[in-house]
Structure 1
Amino acid sequence: MMRCSVFLFFLMSLMSCKAQTIQTVVLVENNQSNYQICIPPNAGENIIKTVRELQSYFFKIGNVKLSITTEKSALPQIIIGGKDFMESRGIELPYTELKKDGFIIKTENKHLLISGINEKGIINGIYTLLEKYLGCRFYARDAIVIPQKENIILEPILDIQNPAFEIRMLNSYEGLSVEYCKWHKLDLPPRINPLWLKPWIHTTTKYFSLKWGPKKHPEYFTYFNKGKDAVDINYENNEVLEIMIGKIKKRVQDHPTAKFIGASQGDMTRKIKSEDKGKISGDMTLGFANRIAQTFPDHTITYLAYQYSRSSSENIKPLGNILVIICNTWGNRTKAVDTKNPGNKFIKDLQVWQKLTDNIMVWDYIYNTKYEFAPYPNFYLLQQAIKGYKDLGINKIFEESHRQPSGGLYELRSYLTAKLLWNPDLDIDSLITDFLNGYYGDAAPYIKNYIQEMNKQLKASKIPLLRTGNPKIYSRISFLRPLAIRKYELYLEKAKRSVVDDPIFKKRVDKVYETLKVTKSEIGKRSSKE
């Protein structure tokens, strides 16, 4: 009986070891690897470039150089490619579960598979491997973290991911970096996206100069202030339409890969007075865009529902190849996507547009557009807004934030937004903690205290967080009142002391502290004038 028990124990131990060998994929062991990266013979330039980056990161992490091949091998491989390539290798994956830009990462025997139904999906899978499974981070342009490891061992993986939104754009200092967009599975914003013809926004007044045009052709323009001020083109002038179509045709010829064409009105900063009503309207601008859409049926024409054109009269419907970009300029960012608030005019306008078309992109603002330098405690509000858009049936989002490296914690704001645009259900607190630990080092707990205290002060005050709010508004009874600022200073002073010997972390903490200091000074200046 004893011999039988010993034999059974030995047999179970052997089976356990064998199962463990099958389950794990040992990519690197003691800084050695026999893995290859296998890609299709006809792999595109973007895939090849990204695979070379993956090869480079393996060297930086594990001090190993994996060869790149297009051939089958007796060696274990990281196999990267689309559906046809995988099936040619006899590999079956659940492609029916994938959407555009989605991906599959799977371990199979000794191999690691990365696939998608389009090129961007495959690239998204590669960067997810680097971040989620190899421990790399791209926190900001100035903070890429690459761990050093002797061993890279993966437990069994079947990771199938799809984006929450079809278009995910972040128009910020960080988001205007091609590398940042690739790491965070974002679409390039129009400003740097070759698929978007330039000019891409407020196009009418870029094709027709308001400064010089009226002197030569006054009939091409619409005027306010008793005919003194040219504010936009004359949308009812057929000659203007033909000239603009001609200019667009020329630009399309020069940029044949462009798929999106802008046909949006100028940025009118003034309100339309009663004497000027009827001179310009959303019906006029949309009708104009529709006629451009008819001329370019194979392109997507972008139309801006903004200012006076944000509210649709429902008298005219956008053509099928028009993408309506509706701007959420609703003042109260605390409840930017509050469907229960009858006063939220943005929601009302959006729902009218949704009756006319399902081709809609929301342009949202996630920073103080007028006082960029000031603290703006919307970090815990970002998720609420993005989930709100998803619940409203929106599948395209353009988020605007700091386009210059200014303002406290703008890096965190971009990072959180990028992550939530892919998956709005992520744990926001975990995301914040991970970022702060990587970006501020030992100062992270104090920076988090600062963020949480600001959020607490804002909520307690019940004062709306405005898109263009002057810091003075919040200095009386909200998150910038003197007592609150003193609490922030104490947290940030501790943060500074904790990284005094680390110049990189110290510089980042100093920037947060400087933002608060400048804001405090600005409030003081305004108070002295009153």
Structure 2
Amino acid sequence: MRLTNLMTNNIAMKHLSKLPIKQFIQRYLLIVPLLFSTLCYGEASAGILLAKSKVAQLAIVLPGEPSPTRQFAAAELAKYLQKISGATFQVAGSPAKSRKVIRIEQRKEMAYEDYRISVRDGNIVLAAGSDRAVLYAVYDFLERLGCRWIAPQLALYNGLSEYIPHQPTLYYKVNHEINEHPAFAYRKLDIEEGKSHTIENLKQLVDWMPKLRYNTLMVPLNYQGKGRVKWDKWREALTPELRKRGILIEVGGHGYQNYINPGMENGNLFKQHPDWFGLDKDCKPATDDYLVFNTENQDAVNYFIKSVLEYLRQHPEIDIFDLWPPDGARWAECPDWLKRGTPEDRQAKLISKVDSAVKAVYPHLKLQIIAYAKALLPPQHETISKQVMVDFCPIDQNFEYQINDSRSAANQEYVTALLDWRKKFDGDIGLYSYFRKYAWKSLPNVIPHFIQRDMQWYAKVPLQGITTYAEPGDWYTYELNHYILGYLAWNPDVKVDSLIQLYCKTRYGAASAVAEKAYAALENTVRIYGSIRFSSLKSPEAISKAVTLLRDRQQAVKEAAASAPAEIQANFGRLQLMLQYAILDIRVREALAINASPEVLSDRVQEVLTFFKNNGDKGIVIVNKEDNVKSLTRYYNRYK
């Protein structure tokens, strides 16, 4: 990248900031593609002419008998090219004589998710190893023309979640072949607790996923057995949307109790077979769903397998099936049951039996277990088929330090366990990440550089997958995390600073530098001084400095918003709220650090609750109805 180009672009942006709003928007739409091209790809020649004066200069060709996903990819390409240039691009099965084309093709010799963008004799070729990767190639090509896929088209964005340039005369200016291959095979979004999901915003999420190359949607079979968050509620609407994009469907989650529990058959299952269930501390059969059933009783296991197979028979769309114990599972309370083996060995033995039964009927379906809580380590006496997937969950990671930083005892425990898994297990291991965590109560722990350093280490282990929670209700707060993670899951060595700069230019326009500094302040304060578990309580002096920094950034954001166009003012307004929440949270920590009176602490907690009440519908926080001063004070004291 040439420094002179960056300087020219910065001068141009400063000039734009002085224009009236209408002129600002018109000229801003012209300069962002230039900035994107300069930052990411450097200068290029005039390139291949795609459209001139709103007339398409190439056709889109889909040879052979294209699948629905490839047809969708071609339709997306035509749609966005028209949005950019105003030209109508025809999609045909074969090219017209003497006319240049954009050719979309699947190549069997390429790896499944690999894709290539090349130029041959003036024709553009988008080739990939699978239908899904063809769609990636299309979105990558469009991104190189200046499109930015910042977020799903959620209602809060009012149609402005993504950026599409306006160029009636349009060139493709990349003059070298693009070859792409993912570092992580599975790149997942999980909707586990489903606090803010609807059919509408789930469809919007699915539409966005392949644009950032996320390839798996993870949905609970029945979260916590409550019937509120379950695949069956959304299955009919989402399955065709997921299939059209080649996105994998992963269903399951915590819940052996979905397949065998004491309340089944109107309670008669427990009455007739008390020996099928777990024993309490008095060694008596218990009706507690969180006490793992008797995995040594073959009749109980057979019942469990039969229930699993029946669910799979009714849900043939599932690609990956999660078979996890209850969240907070208790494996053995009766001392005699400790002789039955460790939780890790019991889980491994059970999954092996289920896997054998499932493979006999559904050979292409993958099962997944979880390395978590009391079953964190690899089994010592049982072997798991490498066809089974493992999700590794460092739920208590200390975010003051990188995962591989030995200064954190909690992190070191996870590193030791994960490396032991990698040494003993040949199958796919994924990271069930907490780069967005429900326990944070939407606190803006925005950590793009931190995520990159962790991801670079995980890639070297190596791991094959990455999962993150995705809630529409606080999407804007974690928007940068989600956006950056999409790129890092594909390439952990991507230039994060360039992505942040582009993100901020797209979201915040001419005052993007102000936003960059605000995000940097959040990354350097919230995970260290905020209410993030395992982050130690700092001195009052250090906390005061963090609050001062955030207030300075908040004031700068407020001033930048005052002169910004209305659309960008809304984004600055959300960023101000993120900074305000961080300040309120850290001030509660300050009260704890100085041993403030209960009255002072209560007042500061009330300020947080008031913030929740006033801003629960703005994409910043998800409000828990059960929160009150007493419960929230307990929450904050937990992190003292």
TM-score range, shorter chain: 0.7 to 0.9
Please state how far the C-alpha of 1:446 moved relative to its aligned partner: 1.8
| Equivalent pair of 2:431/2:465 in contact (CA under 8 Å) | yes
**Residue identity opposite 1:498 in structure 2:** A
Please state how far the C-alpha of 1:349 moved relative to its aligned partner: 1.1
Q: Give a deviation string over 1:417-436, Cα, whole Å, max 9, x none.
A: 11111111111111111111
| Equivalent pair of 1:31/1:64 in contact (CA under 8 Å) | yes
Q: Is the helix fraction higher in 1 or 2?
A: 2
Please state how far the C-alpha of 1:277 moved relative to its aligned partner: 7.2
State the alpha-carbon separation in 2 of the partners of residues 81 and 316 from structure 1: 45
Matched, 1:220 2:276: yes
Please state how far the C-alpha of 1:221 moved relative to its aligned partner: 2.6
Please state how far the C-alpha of 1:466 moved relative to its aligned partner: 8.1
Range moving further from structure 2, 497-506 or 37-46: 497-506
Q: Counterpart in 2 of 1:208?
A: 260
Q: Give a deviation string over 1:12-36, Cα, whole Å, max 9, x none.
A: xxxxxxxxxx983111122222311
Structure 2 residue ranges without an equivalent (≥5): 1-44, 192-196, 220-237, 592-596, 602-640
Distance 1:347 1:411, change over 3 A: same
User: For 1:383, which of 452, 458, 470 is the aligned residue?
Assistant: 452
**Residue identity opposite 2:312 in structure 1:** V
Matched, 1:420 2:488: yes
SS in 1 for 2:189: strand
**Residue identity opposite 1:337 in structure 2:** I
User: For 1:32, which of 29, 52, 55 is the aligned residue?
Assistant: 55
Please state how far the C-alpha of 1:240 moved relative to its aligned partner: 2.4
Q: Counterpart in 2 of 1:502?
A: 565
| Equivalent pair of 2:446/2:478 in contact (CA under 8 Å) | no
Distance 1:161 1:381, change over 3 A: same
State the alpha-carbon separation in 2 of the partners of residues 477 and 271 from structure 1: 45
Please state how far the C-alpha of 1:357 moved relative to its aligned partner: 1.8
If the length of structure 2 is used for normalisation, what is the TM-score? 0.70
State the alpha-carbon separation in 1 of the partners of residues 297 and 477 from structure 2: 47
Range moving further from structure 2, 37-46 or 225-234: 225-234
State the alpha-carbon separation in 2 of the partners of residues 370 and 205 from structure 1: 24
Distance 1:408 1:153, change over 3 A: closer
**What value does the CA root-mean-square deviation take over the aligned residues?**
3.2
**Residue identity opposite 2:179 in structure 1:** I
Matched, 1:186 2:255: no
State the alpha-carbon separation in 2 of the partners of residues 411 and 332 from structure 1: 22
Distance 1:24 1:516, change over 3 A: closer
Distance 1:475 1:243, change over 3 A: farther
SS in 2 for 1:315: coil
Distance 1:292 1:273, change over 3 A: closer
Matched, 1:492 2:554: yes
Distance 1:270 1:252, change over 3 A: closer
Structure 1 residue ranges without an equivalent (≥5): 1-21, 85-94
Please state how far the C-alpha of 1:154 moved relative to its aligned partner: 2.3
State the alpha-carbon separation in 2 of the partners of residues 66 and 41 from structure 1: 19
Distance 1:401 1:372, change over 3 A: farther
State the alpha-carbon separation in 2 of the partners of residues 490 and 387 from structure 1: 32
Matched, 1:45 2:68: yes
| Equivalent pair of 1:337/1:347 in contact (CA under 8 Å) | yes
TM alignment of 1:45-444, pairs within 5 A: 45-73=68-96, 74-83=98-107, 98-132=110-144, 134-141=145-152, 142=157, 143-155=161-173, 156-171=175-190, 177-191=205-219, 199-209=251-261, 215-216=267-268, 217=270, 218-226=274-282, 229-231=288-290, 232-268=292-328, 278=338, 281-297=343-359, 298=363, 299-338=365-404, 343=409, 344-359=412-427, 360-398=429-467, 400-406=468-474, 409-444=477-512
Range moving further from structure 2, 400-409 or 265-274: 265-274
State the alpha-carbon separation in 2 of the partners of residues 40 and 112 from structure 1: 14
| Equivalent pair of 1:371/1:469 in contact (CA under 8 Å) | no
Distance 1:63 1:514, change over 3 A: same
Matched, 1:517 2:580: yes
Distance 1:273 1:333, change over 3 A: farther
Q: Give a deviation string over 1:217-246, Cα, whole Å, max 9, x none.
A: 143332445456442322222222222222
State the alpha-carbon separation in 1 of the partners of residues 265 and 405 from structure 2: 43
If the length of structure 1 is used for normalisation, what is the TM-score? 0.83
Q: Counterpart in 1 of 2:533?
A: 468
| Equivalent pair of 2:529/2:586 in contact (CA under 8 Å) | no
Q: Counterpart in 2 of 1:452?
A: 520
Aligned pairs, how many? 490
Distance 1:456 1:327, change over 3 A: closer
Percent of residue pairs identical: 17
